[in-house]
Structure 1
Amino acid sequence: MIVYGIPNCNTVKKALDWLKLHNIEFEFHDFKKKGITAEKLTEWCNTFGWEAVLNRKGLTWKKLTKDEQIAIDNQDKAISYMINNTSAIKRPIIEKNNKAVLISFQEDSYAETLG
């Protein structure tokens, strides 16, 4: 299992704490340091929808002008933006058996999916 995120994100910290508490082994992929590929972002967008993968609540998004935000209006533009601004990726994203299964952190969803 791979957990994708950035270590200083509170949501990622909650997810990692939950995984450790439940003795679930995982590898952590820090996409600030290791980056992320367009192929991986495409997989996630195809699984969750690009609008779910793009983090519109964070500072990275809020620093954009209204016109810049409006211009990111499809999956290709969102992926291009997220590759260059990894903080704009919703996190964490968890892959199990090479398939994205969870995005963000909700304890109920984690218990149900990773139980």
Structure 2
Amino acid sequence: MTDTVLYGIKNCDTVKKARRWLDEHEIAYRFHDVRADGLDLSMIDSWIAAVGWQKVLNKAGTTWRKLDPEVQQQVSADNVATLLLEYPAMIKRPVLVTNGNITIGFKPDIYATCFNK
């Protein structure tokens, strides 16, 4: 069993790029689809604690833009995890968890540093 998990949505282009990079570099990982496989509050809380809620929340996506503006204005550190649990598509993707480290988004140079490649 690998201790590297890639969280995302299988049809997301950025997630596809990250998976391709991991495969090309022969890095063992488990893919966890946040929609199909689900999430729990403690998992989201751990990501927020590691990198900050502003980095975990994807405000560029369709799901965020479709939210009622009043709901958008009320998002804060106190309630963002619950919102992300309800709308997992608003999590910036992918989330890479390896050896206790959390990386949000995909950049080949950052992944190379994570895996000494």
Moved over 3 A (4+): none
Deviation at 1:101, TM superposition (A): 2.5
State how 1:31-110 maps to structure 2 within 5 Å: 31-72=34-75, 74-97=76-99, 99-110=100-111
Residue segments in structure 2 that go unaligned for 5+ positions in a row: none
Between the aligned partners of 1:50 and 1:21, the Cα distance in structure 2 is 31
Deviation at 1:75, TM superposition (A): 2.0
Deviations 1:38-86 (A, max 9, x none): 10101000111001001111000000122211111x2231111100101
Between the aligned partners of 1:18 and 1:46, the Cα distance in structure 2 is 26
Deviation at 1:26, TM superposition (A): 0.4
When normalised by structure 2's length, the TM-score is 0.92
SS of residue paired to 1:101: strand
Q: Give aligned-pair identity as a percent.
A: 36
Aligned residues: 113
When normalised by structure 1's length, the TM-score is 0.94
Residue segments in structure 1 that go unaligned for 5+ positions in a row: none
SS of residue paired to 2:80: helix
SS of residue paired to 1:110: helix
Q: Name the counterpart of 2:7.
A: 4
**2:8–2:94 contact (8 Å) kept in structure 1:** yes
SS of residue paired to 1:75: coil
Between the aligned partners of 2:101 and 2:60, the Cα distance in structure 1 is 21
Aligned Cα root-mean-square deviation (Å): 1.0
The one-letter code of the counterpart of 2:112 is: A
